[in-house]
Each structure stands twice: as C-alpha cells, then as structure tokens.
Amino acid sequence: MASDRELGAVGRFVGVSLLVLSIVVPLGTRVWQELKGPPPLVFHCFEHGFVLTHGPDVRALPWSEVRVSAFRESPHTPHGGAAEPIEWVEVKDRDGEPLYSVAGEAAPRIATVAASDELPRAAHRLARGGMAVYGRFALSADDLFLDGRPLPWQEIRKVETGTHLVQVYRHQDADHSAHFSAPRHQTPYDGVVVTLAHTYIRPVADRPPGDQPTDLPCGDRAAAGGPGACLDGPPHGCPSE
C-alpha cells in the first residue's frame, strides 16, 4: 500500500495539474478563437426579406425596411491595366447604416430579388398619388424629382443605368448628353427607378398636338408630326419620307 507521504505527493501533483489546466484551457480556447477570427456574417435571401446570422445573433428584415443598391466597381490593378468591373450589392437600413455587402455572382441575384419585391409596392404608391424616393431621385405620377427639383415626365426622353451612373435625358437637350446623373451606389433600387420611368414616360407619338417637343431628332419628330428644327438633318425641316 502507498504511504501517506506518497499519497500526499500524488495529491499535490494532481491539484497543481488541475490548477494549471484551469488556467491554460480557457486561455488556449480564447487564443484559438482569436486566431480563428469572428464567426462569419451569413446572408440568407428570401422572396420578401432576408435573414442575417452572425454566430448566435440572428436578424430578420423585410425588403421594405431596407435600401438595396446595386453597382459596379473596377478593381485596382497593380500595373494600371484595364479590369472587368465587378458587380456589388449593398444593403442598408433606413438610417443608412450598412447591414451587408457582397461582390460577385450573388450580387445581381440579391438585387433582382429585392427589386422584384419593391417594384409593385412603389407602383401602387404612385398610383395612389404618393411618391417613391430613391437617393437623389423621387418619383410621382406627374414628375421625376431630381435633387428636389421637379421635371415633368413629358419632358423626359429616357432614364437609364450605365456602368456607374443613373442618367436622365430630356427631349430638349440638343447634344444628347445627360441632363442629370447620380452614382448608382447612391441610388437604391436603380432598376426600379428605370422601370417606373419607362411606365410614365409618354412616347412621342402618343403626345397630343401642341404637346410636342420642338427639339427632337428628325426621325422622332417626323413620327410625331410636330414642328421645329431638326437636330440631325437639314436646317429647314425634316425631309419627307
């Protein structure tokens, strides 16, 4: 049988070992967690909203409570060469605080799902006499507001998105340059803006007499039957076809 002295030595060894483990194990676990990094932020996209998970934290929001911006950015290249623009999407809350952003193939898919939810809601709002506001654009059934300044739909030729900008063109702009531009990353739901604009912009041929713009290209005004000097033809009227 072991003596009391031997048992005492073993007991002291076990006690010291347990004490060391009680200090080292939590410290090692914490260091491992720090080396591994924080838990990833995961975005779960659904038809009418999304769920964000960040470790044990879970947050669910409908699309109506956020603003979704889709845009393109050209990556920096080490030697200044041309690079293909990358699709991005950014989700912010109503106060403008970023919630999530991602680049690549998932970006346009998220933007499409969010816009599909926003479009009928915005169209219904305009049909009832309300307004839809997206960054520097505000839309009503009668006007497109650009930084708060109204521009009647009948004066607008088209609204379109480019690689980096949302651009508005008027019939009267002789040089065919954009009358107004806003960065896409500052324009939530830019696809909704363009789609609604196409709904409210009246084709030239559908305008009543006397409501024809006088500074149209020849082909457009010939179809409309309106007066005025040609921008891209002879100075004394459009040629007959």
Could you read off the pLDDT of 9-22 as tens digits, one per residue? 656 655 655 565 56
CA distance 176 to 166: 15
Please give the pLDDT value at position 74. 75
Amino acid occupying residue 200: Y
Q: What local confidence, expressed as pLDDT, does residue 156 receive?
A: 95
pLDDT at 206: 53
DSSP secondary structure letters along 46-111: ETTEEEEEETTEEEEEEGGGEEEEEEEEPPP-TT------EEEEEEEETTS-EEEEEESTHHHHHH
Q: What does the DSSP 8-state code read for residue 237?
A: S
Q: What is the pTM of this model?
A: 0.67
What tens digit of pLDDT does each residue of 164-195 get?
Answer: 999 999 998 877 789 999 999 999 999 999 99
